[in-house]
Structure 1
Amino acid sequence: MSAFPLQVVVQVMHNRVGQPKLVQLKTNDNTGEVDGTEACRDRTCSWGGQIGRDFMGKRSATTLADTMLLVGQSLTRNRTLVSKGGKFELGFFAPGNSQKYYVGIWFKQVASVQKKKTVVWVANRNKPISTTDLSSSEFKLLEDGQLSLFFMKPKNNYSSDQVPIWSTNSTTVKRVIHSSIKVVLHDNGNLAVLSSSNGNIIMWQSFDHPTNSFLPGAKFGYNNLTNTSYILTSWRNSEDPSDGFYSVKLEPGGTVSFIWNQSHEFYNSGVWNGHYFGNFPEMRIGVASSYEYRSYANGSYFIYSVSDADPPLHAFVDVSGQLKAAVWQSETQDWMEIWTKPMPLCQVYGICGAFSICSDNNIGPSICQCLPGFEKHNPKDLDSLDYSSGCVRKNSSWCGDKDNFHVMPNMDLSKIITSANVLVVDDAKKCKSSCLQNCSCNAYAYHTTGSNNNSIGCLLWYGSLVNVRQHVGDDGVDLFIRLAASEDHLLISRKKISTVAIVGAVSGFTILLGVSL
């Protein structure tokens, strides 16, 4: 936990033991309320403010060094589970300014110096807990060996119903002695349900169910025998850990695929060459102690490791769709990104949403600009670094024979050409006319190649236009965006653009000449 304003040590006498037990009370980062973290001699001791509940049969998590839960024990909003070496912490949290709560794992050492938690795993990422239900929520190891997250909903004045939110749903734990089961948070960030009667056999672990992070020691790949696939999926935005648009997975061919909306691959790592993936030469930077790629008949996986003396290392799929690796810097008390893929950001498919243009020359929210005649669909999304909502038309009264087109010169159509309808026509006028005849047509491009113009293509885009990007160089293609007749003031002719370019070039040359003189 972070540094706490309240550090109180009280002695509590337990009738069964007859000896004093130390109970350390701390305040919780999220709520500012008092949190009991015990230092007990056995697992039956209670903690401040909860003694009465213990006598009623509800045991709170004990600490055998604050590292485990036993059957019947639970975490509440003011309780956390800490790994033995104090590197990771499990508990309830609310990301950013969100009023929704989740159970997750974060870097404890980082959270102690930063207000913002660096979360590496979320149990209920797609089913948050409301502020109203938080006070009655529990993360509990049940009698049947399942880890369960639930809250209590009042049924009447005398009873309540248990409402499930999330569960491990493991079938393995039902085949072992329940009294031997425990939950441990390891120093590598892995939350595991173990059976001590079978030599600490792992019955369930969070490493088999990753969210957006790939931690040292975790497997990234797939197992055909168990039908298990370790896929990393981005958060929806910086304050919403639900499944985002971007996922990263290891393919059977030995490459790492970057996928948008579970359907479109927009980048891959290249093949493993024994030391690093072809498109990831940055992996040669000596941050991890070792990398290992294993391929066998029933699956493949990639794993990396760090030494205990190394600073925290965090690899994750960002909300931007990029896979990033960052190392904790004790000097600056902050994360330092050591590599990011793909780069630049505009290589990420759909990063700006519909009817937007991505420009590598801009940074931050300005990297995404609406096409002429469009405006941001949800400007507030920019605050959470989510540009995917894109843009919508300003003028709803469009689609007529007097509609016109705004020309956007030198565009890169390589990422959007697959979504276009191709027509073979004689000239650009017929291409334009074909678009005007269909109200669903939002843009067109007419491109000729070859010395005799013998390769003619009319490209029409119906519906949303996603992944528009400015071309790097001067051999791009003109893209014509449809506008309503009332938006003629937005029109820019190709002739005007050429004139501006020539004047700018001449002016620049004149200035340069004057400087040289």
Structure 2
Amino acid sequence: MLLYQLFHFSFSLSLDAITPQHSLRDGDVVISKGNTFVLGFFSPANSRYRYVGIWHYQVSIQTVVWVANRENPINETSGTLSISSQGNLVLYHKNYTIPLWSTNSTLTHSNNSTARLLDTRNLVLVQNEITYWQSFDYPTNTMLPFMKIGLNLTTGVDRFLTPWKSPNDPGIGNFTYKLDSTGFPQLFLYKGLAKFWRAGSWMGQRWVGIPEMRRSPIFNYSFVYNDEEISASGDIKDTSIITRMIANETEEMQRFLWNHQNQRWVTIWSAPKEECDFYGHCGPNSNCDQTQVDKLECSCLPGFEPKSPETWSLRDWSAGCARRANASICKHGEGFEKVAAVKIPDTAVANADMGLGLKQCQRKCLRNCSCMAYASAFSESNRGTGCLTWYGDLLDINTYRDAGQDLFIRVDAVVLSRYHLYLQQNGGVSKKQLVAIFVVSIAVKLSMVAFAFCLVRRIRRGRQRGPSLSSTTNPTHLEDSLNGTTDALPVFNLGTIAIATNNFSPDNRLGQGGFGLVYKGTLNGKEIAVKRLSKSSGQGIEEFKNEVTLIAKLQHRNLVRF
């Protein structure tokens, strides 16, 4: 923290602007019109070097929020900040003709420039009411209300934060907090060139990787994403509140509020602070979840398994996870499993299509066998707008208790069937979803008597033609609740039936019976019909049991159940 105790302000001259006629010398200050900020020369604690900076005027602990000559300090009090003959704001040292620092702007006139400090902390260089340079475009370690970070696509200016080297040295530190526009824009904290912490992408009201960021009585957060700029900002609703966010030399981002009563800064947020916050903690294709204290924080995504089981068991997560062996995810009944309340994967490698909704996004991803996952771009806007799709490894996913958004992972038919069964058992099936009960049948039930009569005739014809259909999978038995009459019935798991019907593709639909839709399929080289019981069907499990019991008594073997 850059805090320096200042018991009283004592300046030789107070200016309201720097002009060609009035320079700023060491010991003089420029004070903003509303007495909120001060521009002048200062020395950090335990340092004899002098810097030009801006600090809060109404805060008793001198807190520097911007520094001009970060890499070129003055070793004594002979510095002068003035308007040059070219109209730029320049910093000179005694007996030096080359400036230590300059705004370095191209101006149309050289004799009527003015540098003025605004109440927002923005130091602007203007000519004829036109701003040619502003300190907001060149932040140091502090982000204040009404500032932006991000890229101005018109001017090419990229605004980002960098920490001090130390509390005694405002030189540029080894971290960068910036809005990365690669792929779909997201906020990052870099350590050197390496990704260190990811605040993630904008959800519509907040950044997905900052779960503490909710609708606030203090702040108005915004994100601009258009042809002119890609930027993030956080304005203040009550201008009497003094707040700042800094990139700290302690390898973290922090936000502070000034407590007027106790005359001190109060930390209200910081990141990263948990293991899951650090970029890629669990490796690729994994999920970091610290919401359940009785479980390890790292787990593989649905359909994936540890790439190196040996190192994984030793809690070395770096290798991450890989797709399960023999998984078929290309036009073999695959689908998507929802992973809820997460920081979605690194969007630098995501494809963004802002013209698609979530349903269209699902269809887009399903058509492309290389598509590994999809999510809504702005999940908090109008029930989700925009489409994000990923086509390689999924990196830096984190589960939250009451934040984040939904991510949909591509899985094969076997994993998908287990997911549907899990939803059924946990009450997660909606009215539009189907209960996962499937029966192979060769006729639509008209009545129990008529069905039994037709079934006997078909069985007799089948015996004359040859052996009945059987499964290569290991059969089990139906539950005792079916009155013990099913000892001879082969049983198939849901994955087998899903693959046989191409995951119950609409193209395989034959019709509809009393229990639900009927699909054609291929099992062990034979054509089969599969009846899928609908939750909205007027018939239910009791009717199903009755039909199975009746068929079993008739020694009918072409019954499939999971």
TM-score relative to the length of structure 2: 0.47
Is residue 249–residue 257 contact of structure 1 (8 Å, CA) maintained in 2? yes
Deviation (angstroms), 1:299:
3.3
User: Aligned partners of 1:213, 1:94: CA distance in 2, in Å?
Assistant: 18
Is residue 233–residue 243 contact of structure 1 (8 Å, CA) maintained in 2? yes
Where does residue 99 of structure 2 map in the other structure? Answer: 164
Label 1:414 to 1:81 Cα distance change in 2 as closer, same or farther (>3 A).
farther
Deviation (angstroms), 1:127:
1.2
User: Aligned partners of 2:147, 2:195: CA distance in 1, in Å?
Assistant: 24
Matched positions, count: 285
Is 2:6 the partner of 1:37?
no
Letter in 2 for 1:247: T
User: Aligned partners of 1:138, 1:295: CA distance in 2, in Å?
Assistant: 40
Is 2:264 the partner of 1:264?
no
Where does residue 190 of structure 1 map in the other structure? Answer: 122
User: Aligned partners of 2:199, 2:18: CA distance in 1, in Å?
Assistant: 40
User: Aligned partners of 1:319, 1:287: CA distance in 2, in Å?
Assistant: 29
User: Aligned partners of 1:264, 1:287: CA distance in 2, in Å?
Assistant: 35
Give secondary structure in 1 for the equivalent of 2:163: strand
Is 2:209 the partner of 1:275?
no
The CA RMSD measured in Å over matched residues stands at 2.8
Is residue 220–residue 237 contact of structure 2 (8 Å, CA) maintained in 1? no
Letter in 2 for 1:37: L
Question: Can you give the 5+ residue segments of structure 1 that lack an aligned partner in the other structure?
Answer: 5-25, 28-34, 39-65, 154-160, 350-409, 419-517
Label 1:283 to 1:347 Cα distance change in 2 as closer, same or farther (>3 A).
closer
User: Aligned partners of 2:41, 2:229: CA distance in 1, in Å?
Assistant: 35
Deviation (angstroms), 1:346:
10
Is residue 85–residue 110 contact of structure 2 (8 Å, CA) maintained in 1? no
Where does residue 139 of structure 1 map in the other structure? Answer: 81
User: Aligned partners of 2:159, 2:316: CA distance in 1, in Å?
Assistant: 33
Deviation (angstroms), 1:93:
0.8
Letter in 2 for 1:164: P
Is residue 103–residue 123 contact of structure 1 (8 Å, CA) maintained in 2? yes
Letter in 2 for 1:145: G
Is 2:170 the partner of 1:241?
yes
> Quick one: percent identity of the two aligned structures?
31
Deviation (angstroms), 1:258:
1.1
**Partner residue of 2:142 out of 209, 213, 229:** 213
User: Aligned partners of 2:84, 2:126: CA distance in 1, in Å?
Assistant: 13
Letter in 2 for 1:257: F
Give secondary structure in 2 for the equivalent of 1:68: coil
Is residue 152–residue 163 contact of structure 1 (8 Å, CA) maintained in 2? no
Give secondary structure in 2 for the equivalent of 1:268: strand
Label 1:345 to 1:71 Cα distance change in 2 as closer, same or farther (>3 A).
farther
Label 1:148 to 1:274 Cα distance change in 2 as closer, same or farther (>3 A).
same
Label 1:346 to 1:98 Cα distance change in 2 as closer, same or farther (>3 A).
farther
Label 1:124 to 1:411 Cα distance change in 2 as closer, same or farther (>3 A).
farther
TM-score relative to the length of structure 1: 0.51
Deviation (angstroms), 1:267:
1.5
Is 2:39 the partner of 1:77?
no
Is residue 72–residue 142 contact of structure 1 (8 Å, CA) maintained in 2? no
Question: Can you give the 5+ residue segments of structure 2 that lack an aligned partner in the other structure?
Answer: 280-312, 321-562
Structure with more relative contact order (C-alpha pairs < 8 Å, separation 6 or more): 2
Give secondary structure in 1 for the equivalent of 2:207: coil
**Partner residue of 2:63 out of 103, 114, 118:** 118
Is 2:284 the partner of 1:284?
no
Where does residue 331 of structure 1 map in the other structure? Answer: 261
Is residue 148–residue 231 contact of structure 2 (8 Å, CA) maintained in 1? yes
User: Aligned partners of 2:39, 2:45: CA distance in 1, in Å?
Assistant: 17
**Partner residue of 1:319 out of 245, 249, 252:** 249
Is residue 235–residue 318 contact of structure 1 (8 Å, CA) maintained in 2? yes
User: Aligned partners of 1:210, 1:280: CA distance in 2, in Å?
Assistant: 22
User: Aligned partners of 1:412, 1:250: CA distance in 2, in Å?
Assistant: 32
Letter in 1 for 2:79: S
Where does residue 97 of structure 1 map in the other structure? Answer: 46
Deviation (angstroms), 1:338:
0.9
Deviation (angstroms), 1:337:
1.0
User: Aligned partners of 2:317, 2:142: CA distance in 1, in Å?
Assistant: 31
State how 1:88-487 maps to structure 2 within 5 Å: 88-110=37-59, 113-114=60-61, 117-130=62-75, 134-153=76-95, 161-171=96-106, 173=107, 175-176=108-109, 178-179=111-112, 181-195=113-127, 197=128, 200-252=129-181, 253-261=184-192, 263-284=193-214, 286=216, 288-307=218-237, 309-344=239-274, 413-414=316-317
Label 1:106 to 1:272 Cα distance change in 2 as closer, same or farther (>3 A).
same
Where does residue 492 of structure 2 map in the other structure? Answer: none
Deviation (angstroms), 1:241:
0.9
Deviation (angstroms), 1:310:
3.0
Deviation (angstroms), 1:411:
7.9
Letter in 2 for 1:146: N
